[in-house]
Amino acid sequence: MPVAVAIAMLVVGSVAFHLFSPWWRTPIASNWGSIDSALDVTLWICAAAFVGLNLFMAWALVKYRHRPGHRAHYEPENSSLEKRLTFWTAIGIAGMLAPGLAAWGKYVSVPKEATVIEAVGQQWQWSFRYPGPDGVLGAAGVKYITPDNALGLDPLDPFGRDDILVESGDLHLPLGQPVKIVLRSKDVLHDFYVPEFRAKMDLVPGIVTYFWMTPTKAGTFDILCAELCGTGHHEMRGKVVVETPKAFAAWQAQQSSFGQILAEAPPAAMSILLIKANACIVPPSWSIR
């Protein structure tokens, strides 16, 4: 009996903690309400299973406890019960998977009008790259990285000369405009996560990943690394600033392009960049063209 009471109290306490908890999801600031819906469906299905199974176990402990004059009935198989359990388990799993698959299909289907912005992760900071007036990001690769070319842009690619580079700064996004975030890691596994956007994706070394979203609320939000990436993982934070298109254009006009950085580089550093570029006999790691 004490065990049954403890299980019942566990159920009541868990439900009360959820209902009256002072913390919950942050207010959404992007178009991904469907991800919240998928999480809600998963939560309610798991909650129903948790409550039902635990209360059934408490009831069974009370009803079938040892008492004088009662003898246990041994039943090694019950095909009817097994079929019912299989059916309802399948319904629950399908109910959890379906909303998530629907949301994921939209999550990776980027609108044609989306602006492409690159986020680069390294231990333990974020850097960003925007396309210049040509609207195209230039090619990049790990082989091109030098102290004067931290993001590894191909110095021989004309499409990259007008790319705007923001190293260890804030990510600025225009309000109400779809954005494709292209993700690249310079060292280990990272994860780009903005809780208010409900958007996150791993940065895998050697692979380019992406997602898209439309900011729907102006403000400043935290960028977190949601993947353990070393001793300084807790310090790998950044800021994303969502502002009006006019303010975004004004901010962007103040940033330096890759061509400007090359023009200001010492001759010796420029020589190293060109030697590396001319020595490469394989295509760059990636290009979106």
pLDDT score recorded for residue 243: 94
Q: Which residues contact 156 (CB under 8 A, 6 or more apart)?
A: 274, 277, 278
pLDDT score recorded for residue 274: 65
Q: Where are the domains of the chain?
A: 1-64+79-108, 115-279
pLDDT score recorded for residue 248: 92
Whole-angstrom distance, CA of residue 33 vs CA of residue 107? 11
Which CATH number applies to 115-279: 3.40.190.10, 3.50.50.60, 2.60.40.420, 2.40.30.10?
2.60.40.420
Query: What is the tens place of the pLDDT at every residue in 122-141?
Result: 888 999 999 988 888 888 88
pLDDT score recorded for residue 219: 93
- Averages of pLDDT over runs of 10 residues in the chain (289 residues) are 85 85 82 88 88 89 82 82 89 86 86 91 90 86 79 82 85 94 91 91 90 93 90 90 93 84 69 63 52
264 membership: H or E segment, kind and range: helix 258-264
Pairing of strands 190-194, 219-225: antiparallel
Predicted model pTM: 0.76
Query: What counts of helices (H) and strands (E) characterise the chain?
Result: 6, 10
Backbone angles phi, psi at 193, to 5 degrees: -145, 125
pLDDT score recorded for residue 193: 93
Whole-angstrom distance, CA of residue 49 vs CA of residue 54? 8
pLDDT score recorded for residue 63: 85
Count the helix, strand and coil residues of the chain and give each as a percent rounded to the nearest 5.
40, 25, 35
pLDDT score recorded for residue 221: 94
Query: What is the tens place of the pLDDT at every residue in 218-234?
Result: 999 999 998 888 888 88
